[in-house]
Structure 1
Amino acid sequence: MIVYHPAFDLYHCVYRLLQILTHFDKNEFVELDRLRIWDFYLLFPNQVQKITLRREEEDIRKLINFYITNEKNPYEDILDNRKMFERIKPYQLTAIKCLASYGIINKQYLAENRVTIVSKQLLQSYTSKFEPMTPKERNVIGLMTSHFYQVSMFGPHGLKAKTKLMESKYDAE
């Protein structure tokens, strides 16, 4: 039996990354690993509930519980988030390189593990052809590009430590 899952679809990964990048201006940049983490949570929105938050971030927890409902979907059950994150890495990196080859993101910044938009108009020309996203997907992207954009990647309270998708034990703050 053949079972399709968007996690292993290169074109779906390009679609997700384009949707995330529409929330940025031309002069802004995002770290490559941060973009990969956001893509993971757009792909598996129910996993947002498992992000470790501090007491000061209780308002974010309330927003997550209210706007990103945890609906049971057997195709989104993941036994190990970190292993799944590593399994989709080749698809994510290939999709990012594809966007760079189309001239949507800057190749030079990509060499520095940063992603920045080259042409907002070109990005809009692609995303204007897409179907509207579901409210759950829009909520995940909104949360990731607002609150989790401001959170540092490193340290005991960084995005890597909060999500546990990447090793953060030996990172400097």
Structure 2
Amino acid sequence: MLQILTHFKRDEYVETERLRIWDFYLLFPDKISSIKLKRSENDIKELIKTHIRKENNPYDLLLDTRKIFEKIKPFQLGALKCLASYGIINKDYLALNKVTIVSKDILATYSSKFEPLSVKESNAISLLTSHFYYMSLYGVDGLKDRTQLLESKYDA
């Protein structure tokens, strides 16, 4: 979560569900290629093929991505609550299922203690926090629908 928030350059908020989806794809960057994209998004498909290359790793096989996504939910929410307790993100916004950075200085202090991301992970975060930030989270062509990680059938 810290790595994603470090690369998130906007002063706006991001929805908790969107952040959880981004975190999932940071854990499993090869799965980004399974996100349904429109024909008009061929440039994004090419970026994924070029910079987030899918490797055939038999030890990284996920049979049910939605089930794995739900299994990591408590860890993701726990991480967000921890970040709120440290004053990195706003706890009042978190109660509204939104995440906004309160202190970039504290965020930089903690993130500098981690080892650098791999090129693949860095490319994944850049793509997720740019293109997939502007995509609607809800609806037929929303991020929830395209990833199939969260139920989107009943979204407004």
Give me the TM-score of the superposition, normalised by structure 2: 0.97
Structure 2 gap segments, 5+ residues each: none
Structure 2 residue 47 is matched with structure 1 residue 73? no
* Correspondence for 2:117 among 133, 145, 149: 133
Structure 2 residue 26 is matched with structure 1 residue 42? yes
Corresponding residue for residue 101 of structure 2: 117
Instruction: List structure 1 segments (4+ residues) > 6 angstroms apart after TM superposition.
Output: none
- Whole-angstrom CA distance in 1 between matches of 2:85 and 2:6: 18
Q: What do the CA deviations read for 1:5-31 (whole angstroms, capped 9, x no partner)?
A: xxxxxxxxxxxx000001234732100
The DSSP-based 3-state class of the residue aligned with 1:129 is coil
* Correspondence for 2:78 among 94, 118, 125: 94
Structure 2 residue 152 is matched with structure 1 residue 163? no
Q: What do the CA deviations read for 1:82-126 (whole angstroms, capped 9, x no partner)?
A: 111001001100111011111111000001100001100000011
Corresponding residue for residue 6 of structure 2: 22
- Give the superposition deviation at 1:64: 0.3
- Give aligned pairs, total: 156
Q: What do the CA deviations read for 1:55-78 (whole angstroms, capped 9, x no partner)?
A: 011110010001001112233210
1:82 and 1:164 in contact (8 A); partners too: yes
Corresponding residue for residue 40 of structure 2: 56
Taking only the aligned residue pairs, the percentage that are identical comes to 63
Give me the TM-score of the superposition, normalised by structure 1: 0.87
Structure 1 gap segments, 5+ residues each: 1-16
- Whole-angstrom CA distance in 2 between matches of 1:26 and 1:59: 23
- Whole-angstrom CA distance in 2 between matches of 1:66 and 1:41: 16
Corresponding residue for residue 90 of structure 2: 106
- Whole-angstrom CA distance in 1 between matches of 2:19 and 2:55: 24
Deviates further, 51-60 or 24-33: 24-33
The DSSP-based 3-state class of the residue aligned with 1:22 is helix
The amino acid that maps onto 1:162 is R
